[in-house]
A and B are shown apart, each in its own frame.
Chain A
Amino acid sequence: MIKRSFFGFAKPCLKYESIAETLPELEKISTPRKVTLLLTTSLGEKAEALPIKEGDKVKTGQKLTSDDDDGTYVISSVTGTVSSVSSYLGDFGTSYAAISIDVAQNEEIDEEFEKCSKKPTLDILKDYMVCAPGSPPVELFYNLEKPIKTIIICGYDNDLLVTTNQYIIKSYIDLLKAGIVILKETTGVDDIVVVTPHSLKQDYGQIEAEVKTIDTTYPSASPHMIMQKVTGRALPAGNSFEDLGICFMTAEAVASIGRAFGNGQIPVRKTLTVIDKDEGIKLVSARIGTSLKHILYELGITLNEKDRIILGGPITGSSLYSDDHPIMPDTCAIMIQDSGKIPPISDYPCINCGECIRICPARIPINMLVRFLEAGQYEEAADNYDLYSCIECGLCSLVCVSKIPIFQYIKLAKYELGRMSVAEEVDE
């Protein structure tokens, strides 16, 4: 954990982890006896309405669709029999169907994708690659109102200690290059930028994209900061990156595309960083849907009562209440925090010390903002105190003397305002 320096007048400087010199070995996690796949679906609460039923046999790489209006699906990462289908509610009201599969001994590969993998098109990407490791955001290319003009590939993870995408660049640079070629062909977007730490720049060699280096200080790898670096302008508050024609992808997503069309199989193994209780880093590869319990067991990390399990990194991750939670296509890291190391929180009010003001990369008047957020006055906060300028880096909460969960307040406010605007649209 990063502690306040004795010389507190200086701004704390949080550095990203670098694996440029010592490439850690990738530990392969064995296939567990049971995997759980989370299917995003509006039918989440009526899981029995899904076409996939208990007892169905599935093959590795088979597409399990939800049959709802959005056409969502998951790719089975194993061969086996569906043992249960239930609904699951995630953070901020996301509803999922949790499909558990008992793994069979012999693996069979579904051949549907291989047939059409000879000639990649955008439709094939949309139909098969959305749940590949790294979750390529293919649906963005189907929005005719907001055409994508630039693809930015992040070779740097936007959280401290997380090195998944650096590893991908270091180890699978050829797959990344192949993925970029496919992306160019299928999407027709010529402007592709790869952002990377300076230390990895020499690894690229010949590549059909522009390579830009970014600073190693947190939060320079956050999408907002990258955009400012790449395009020279900031994202106008309240807009999304798609509005400006920019699409962000992780290096892993692009490498997955390269791998899939290279060998005719949808990749089912996710690379992720595991941060143990002493903040040591291990890179592992596990099948999507493997429970955290299984991964931690194989790595020999024991979990005790009142520890904390975090999906993602220490600053922007989200904590879980169960170690049965599976890893998902977009899970970059798992972090385990010992109960003794969990910092206390308090219900103190803001004392106006100004630490957050000085550290905020977005120059938001957080000392004022937090007062409105605590009182639930979200609209006032958005209108007068720059709520929508927040780039969600979490630094304000990290340095808050009163230990106010400012970051959580901001996310909650954005979520509530989003719900309110949806409700208003429905009324109209």
Chain B
Amino acid sequence: MSNQKKFIVSHAPFWHDGSSITERSYNTMIAALPAVLFGIFQYGLPAVAVVSFSVSCAIFWELAMNFVTKRSLTIGDGNAALIGLLFAMLVPATLPWWAVLTGTFVAVIIGKQIFGGIGSNAFNPVVLAIAILMVSWKDLFDFDEALLNYDLEFTMLYPIAALKHFGTASIESFTAGDLLLGKQTGGIGATFGLGLIIGGIYLIIRGFIRWEICLTFLFAVFATALVFNLYDNVRFAGPVFHILTGYTLIGAFFLATEDSSSPVNFIPMLIFGVGAGVLTVLIRNIGAHVDGVIYAILVMNLLNPVLDKIRPKAIGKVG
């Protein structure tokens, strides 16, 4: 028996379809690239600095946590880098370095690692980090103030903040075409609507995100905004404006669809998307905050475990 060959003994199935977490992360980052590159093109070097520092910080925090908790290194799966990239896409190009450091700390450590790492986070790490930063340093997310020194070839007003404070009269200068092509101020990667839509469609086709969540989210934003607009078109902007401004598009395609904090069954996904969409417009139109996407997604994240209990009956299940 000494010259016996050794074989690999393991469990069935002996095939695998080859999908991996790394593939998912990198493809999501590729899908985000058009919007990020547009942001860099628009805001120049400061945007490059924020994006690269954010990605490196997120990877660093994940690595640090791997060492502290003595677990195997998980930075190779690309999830930390993705968190860093998405975080950078949501913030203004002039965000100070310490805010990036803190934000990515909140996202990776508090948002993900202390829950047990990838797959265990109850909230979308990026959304949680933005929410905490927004509450703690309100001024950081005042885009009009943050981007004061920029003078690009369009109205330098953060559209939904203008709407909130001055009503629909102030947003007449924004046309849907301009908004879609990114002629608006906002987060580094959150303003280029066309790029985000292309990225989102790519992810849907590749099966990395679910159309059920993003499309119902956008539909609900549209429908709710339309109802408000029909009710009072002086105070409330139209549905297209709501879809193309703020974090709506990046929220629909990149934030609400995060695996761990969103449902997996069909009907729960629809409810999740609709809930987040309705809440977004409610917060924007009658709430205290300028943009509702962040809090809407957080609330729906909270409801996710309950929602996912609505599921089809397994075959042969008795009772």
Q: Which residues of A contact B (CB under 8 A)?
A: 1-4, 6-10, 12, 224, 228, 234-239, 303-310, 312, 314-323, 335, 337, 339, 342-343, 345, 347-355, 357, 361-365, 367-368, 386, 388-389, 391, 394, 397-403, 405, 407-408, 411
Contact = CB atoms under 8 A, between A and B. Distances in A.
Contacts of A224: 315-316
A389 B15 contact: no
B314 interface: yes
A374 to B, nearest CB: 11
Nearest 5 A/B pairs, CB to CB: A8-B207, A354-B264, A408-B11, A343-B16, A389-B314
Interface in B37-61: none
B15 A314 contact: yes
B205 to A, nearest CB: 6
Contact of A3 (B9, B18, B118, B314): B18
B232 interface: no
Interface in B251-293: 259-260, 262-265
B318 interface: yes
Interface of B: 4-21, 24, 72, 77, 116-120, 204-208, 210-211, 259-260, 262-265, 308, 311-318
B8 A307 contact: yes
Contacts of A364: 314
A236 B318 contact: yes
Contact of B12 (A238, A307, A323, A394): A394
Contact of B8 (A8, A308, A367): A308
B14 A365 contact: no
B317 A349 contact: no
Given A236-B316, A363-B314, A386-B317, A319 B17 contact: no
Contacts of B315: 224, 228, 234-235, 361-363, 389, 391
Contact of A389 (B5, B10, B311, B316): B316
Contacts of A316: 12-13
B14 A317 contact: yes
B153 to A, nearest CB: 38
Contacts of B318: 236-238
A34 B318 CA distance: 50
Nearest to B263: A354
B259 A314 contact: no
A214 B135 CA distance: 60
A402 B12 CA distance: 15
Contact of B16 (A323, A350, A403): A403
Contacts of A402: 21, 119
Nearest to A386: B314
A25 to B, nearest CB: 26
A305 B16 contact: no
A321 B9 contact: yes
A319 B10 contact: yes
Given A9-B204, A307-B7, A351-B259, A4 B18 contact: yes
Nearest to A321: B9
Given A8-B207, A308-B7, A357 B264 contact: yes
A363 B117 CA distance: 27
Contacts of A386: 314, 317
A6 B21 CA distance: 15
A306 B14 contact: no
Nearest to B119: A351
Nearest to B16: A343
A353 B17 contact: no
A305 B5 contact: yes
A310 B8 CA distance: 10
Contacts of A314: 13-15
Contact of B7 (A9, A306, A388): A306
Contact of A342 (B14, B120, B311): B14
Contacts of B118: 348-349, 351
Given A315-B13, A354-B210, A357-B265, A362 B19 contact: no
B19 A306 contact: no
Nearest to B17: A4
13 contacts: A1-B18, A4-B19, A306-B6, A307-B8, A308-B10, A312-B12, A320-B7, A322-B7, A343-B16, A348-B21, A361-B315, A365-B311, A401-B21
Given A4-B19, A307-B7, A408-B12, 7 more contacts: A7-B207, A8-B19, A224-B315, A303-B7, A319-B9, A349-B119, A411-B11
A350 B119 contact: yes
Nearest to B208: A8
B10 A407 contact: no
Contacts of A3: 17-18
A319 B316 contact: no
Contacts of B262: 352
A131 B151 CA distance: 86
Contacts of B314: 237, 362-365, 386, 389
A66 B316 CA distance: 38
Nearest to A359: B17
A237 B317 contact: yes
Nearest to A310: B14
Nearest to B117: A349
Nearest to A307: B7
Contacts of B117: 349
Contact of B14 (A337, A350, A391): A337
Most A-side CB within 10 Å, residue of B205, B207, B263, B312:
B207
A402 to B, nearest CB: 6
Contact of B17 (A239, A389, A399): A399
Contacts of A4: 17-19, 207
Contact of A10 (B11, B207, B263): B207
A353 B264 contact: yes
Query: Among A305, A319, A351, A386, which residue has the most Cβ atoms of chain B within 10 A?
Result: A351
Contacts of A365: 265, 308, 311, 314
Contact of B5 (A2, A323, A353): A323
Nearest to A8: B207
Nearest to B24: A401
A291 B253 CA distance: 55
A321 B15 contact: no
Contacts of B19: 4, 8, 355, 399-401
Contacts of B17: 2-4, 12, 398-399
A362 B317 CA distance: 10
A363 B312 contact: yes
A2 B15 contact: yes
B21 A349 contact: no
